[in-house]
Structure 1
Amino acid sequence: MDLAQFKEDVIQYSKQIGIDKIGFASPDVFTEMKERLRTQQELGYQSGFEKGSIEERTEPKLHVPESKSIISIALAYPSKLKDAPRSTREERRGLFCRASWGEDYHDVLNERLYRLASYLKERYPDLQFRSMVDTGELPDRAVAERAGIGFTGKNTNLITSEFGSYVYLGEMITNIPFAPDEPVEDSCGDCNICVDACPTGALIQGGQLNAQKCIAFLTQTKDFLPDEYRGVIGNRLYGCDTCQTVCPKNKKKDFHNHPEMEPDPEKVKPKLKPLLSISNREFKETYGKMSGSWRGKKPIQRNAILALAHFKDVTAVDELVRLMKEDPRPVIRGTAAWALGKIGDWQGKEAIESAQMKETDEQVLDEMRKGLEFFTENV
């Protein structure tokens, strides 16, 4: 078999099935990444969402013992929201990050990788492979970087020349000995805009992220949000795009290549108050196909409460009082109490004092005390 021609055929086929960029890499151990992951682990910078051991994340042959190459793919996603609804005093809105616009990107990329695997199998019957998208063990960025898709910027995002960092990544480990592509040179230079702009200082230095401080991670947690981050979350319901939107490499980058990735404005910038009373069924029907729904409605509702506090939305007081008194989840009751104090309406103060008499959860009681302290500070 003429492998050079086969590789070219694969590249052409990838374009036909809607893959925006494709690259090929060796399956050698990711030695540098292994050391970086160990450092992240030692410093406590990992999110806890990572899958597999450090060895499983850096040694492709553990997944496909006969591997000879890794195919990396990238699909560009939109960065601009057309006909974005406006937030008003009566109807404040939250925001899902761009990586949660449209259908869940895991499904979209896995469908492309499935079609690519089917094509390879026809041409190479002895194909052995394993595909991964984000939730697999291999770090997508490290693979894409080795495959020449782009370079990892100081914001830890994979940056391509064509699409900036607005790309989803996936890979396929194969036993086909495709020739590897050349990596792309890092071109961040002296630019440090993303590091300086990070709302929580999660970008410790160029290329190193403390996931525990990253808003994208924090919005996905299910417990009480630490006090120091409640004031900077703003109206973010899921994820954070700051380090992407400030990046000069992303200027004027906005691609609408895939219908599945087109955002529904009412879903990605939803009204906040209706989220407080949405049922599990309604949440699944409305947001279930978005990647931002993977942790369920609880984190989204908690973040919506914090967003209403950020806006000091007095029109939400009645609903927040209801949650504080009736919701079975301590995180929601406590966050609602904190938000009532932040909003500062005296009806909220009376409600907190009343609810304190019946509350038994210590964490919720602590949040109620914090809420009441806001009123004392404002006297």
Structure 2
Amino acid sequence: MTLDSKQVSSLIKKRAFEAGFSFCGISKADFLDEEAPRLEAWLNQGLQGEMAYMANHFDKRLDPRKLVEGCQTVVSLVFNYYPSPSLTPLNHHFKVSKYAFGEDYHRVVKDKMQVLWDAMQEDLGEISGRMFVDSAPVLEKAWAKKSGLGWIGKNGNLIIPKQGSFYFIAELLIDIPAEPDGPIKDFCGTCTRCIDACPTEALTPYWVDGSKCISYFTIELKEGIPASMKSDFQDWIFGCDICQDVCPWNRFSTPHQEPRLEAKLTFLEMERGDWEDLSEEVFKELFHYSAIKRTKITGLQRNIQYINKKNES
């Protein structure tokens, strides 16, 4: 039986939920004409800092058909990573972004996508395409917005109505048509809590200066933190959740149900001294399958030294 585009869309969403995804949205693969001038202006102003890779594959970032031959549909998927309050680090812990509490999200979400992909192959026959989890020149948030999963807030994050923003985003680029969803309206209103709370002033409405973001300094920056940087990182040594923590929409956040994303007890009980005395051997053992390994122990040590120096001054 041949399925029409509406049936294909419905089936993909059903299988996505069965695979464990929180929400699924469908878009027609096309040129992102609204994002093109914004991306160009962002790059021209150097707001990517030393993230030179952001300037690569400009055309592919704006048109998935240039990334995956024959692509007709972009399937946007989101996966909850908000931790249970009982499984968060001690109050006197250095701070780590919630997305890095458990196993590396690339591994966890990719496995879920493989389950979805296999189910789609069964239901729809031989389809061709590729799956991406923050691993290719794809504007994930733009596609999620286009498919109506949420809107992009003033802090640059995808915000899902009455759900919040603590979600991983992933995409399937496939070679069959599916009925697209439409975007929803922006519900940020006059709120500026994220902008007001950012200690490095990285945010202006709907504009993120990546070169000023704490996540950039603690993860992306490979050299030393510039001497000109005077901001208080508020104990964040890997990533930063400030602009999400203060967002009113995240009062709706509910704990995820994925065991692989739960933090290990050893991690939860680490005190400041444990972080400061972390050895290469213990770092590799603790964070072998964690996103934290990306910054390497030298990066963590640099971040801790910066914070301790600020606290002493």
Task: Give 1:14's aligned residue.
Answer: 16
Equivalent residue number for residue 337 of structure 1: none
Q: Secondary structure at the match of 1:130?
A: strand
Helix, strand or coil: the match of 1:165? Answer: coil
Corresponding position of 2:216 = 217
Could you tell me how far apart the structure 2 residues matched to 1:186 and 1:209 are?
A: 17
1:264-321 CA-partner distances (Å, limit 9, x unpaired): 3642673233334433332121012221221211111111222333444xxxxxxxxx
Deviation larger for 143-152 or 278-287: 278-287
**What TM-score results when the alignment is normalised by the length of structure 1?**
0.76
1:2 corresponding residue in structure 2: 3
SS, match of residue 237 in structure 1: strand
> 1:107-118 alignment to 2 at 5 Å?
107-118=107-118
TM-score, structure 2 normalization: 0.91
3-state SS of the aligned residue for 2:42? helix
State whether residues 84 and 269 of structure 1, in contact with CA within 8 Å, keep that contact through their aligned partners in structure 2. Answer: no
1:80 to partner: Cα distance: 4.8
Aligned match of 1:206: 205
Deviation at 1:135, TM superposition (A): 2.2
Distance in 2, matches of 1:300 and 1:288, equals 15
CA contact (8 A) 2:9 2:178 kept: yes
User: What amino acid is the match of 1:185?
Assistant: K
The amino acid of 1:69's aligned partner reads T
**Which ranges in structure 2 are unaligned for 5 or more consecutive residues?**
none
Distance 1:74 1:265, change over 3 A: same
Conserved? CA contact 1:56–1:138, under 8 Å: yes
Asked if 1:71 corresponds to 2:49, the answer is no
Partner of 1:46: 48
Counterpart in 1 of 2:279? 279
Which residue does 2:63 correspond to in 1?
Answer: 59
Offset of residue 254 of structure 1: 2.7
Q: Give the CA deviation at 1:150.
A: 0.8
Q: Deviations over 1:194-227 (max 9, x none)?
A: 1121111101x21111100001111112322123
2: CA distance, partners of 1:86 / 1:61: 46
How far off is 1:233 after superposition? 1.2
Letter in 2 for 1:17: A
Q: Deviations over 1:48-68 (max 9, x none)?
A: 153732111111001222111
Q: Deviations over 1:238-260 (max 9, x none)?
A: 01111111111111413222122
Structure with the larger RCO, 1 or 2 (CA within 8 Å, 6+ apart):
2
The whole-number CA distance in structure 2 between the counterparts of 1:119 and 1:51 is: 35
Amino acid at match of 2:19: I
Count of aligned pairs between the two proteins: 308
* CA–CA separation in structure 1 for the residues paired with 2:89 and 2:156: 30
Query: Could you say which residue in structure 2 is the equivalent of 1:139?
Result: 139
Task: State the AA in 1 paired with 2:3.
Answer: D
CA contact (8 A) 1:234 1:306 kept: no
Q: Give 1:101's aligned residue.
A: 101
Asked if the contact 1:29–1:59 (Cα under 8 Å) also holds between the matched residues in 2, the reply is: yes
Deviations 1:17-47 (A, max 9, x none): 1111101001101112121111011101014
CA distance in structure 2 between the partners assigned to 1:158 and 1:2 by the alignment: 31
Q: Percent identity?
A: 26
Which residue in 2 is equivalent to 1:363? none
**Inter-partner Cα distance in structure 1 for 2:270 and 2:229:** 22
Contact in 1 for aligned 2:152/2:158 (Cα 8 Å)? yes
C-alpha change, 1:284 and 1:81, in structure 2 (3 Å) is farther
Q: Is the 8 A contact 1:152 1:207 kept in 2?
A: yes
SS in 1 for 2:229: helix
* 1:123 CA drift (Å): 2.6
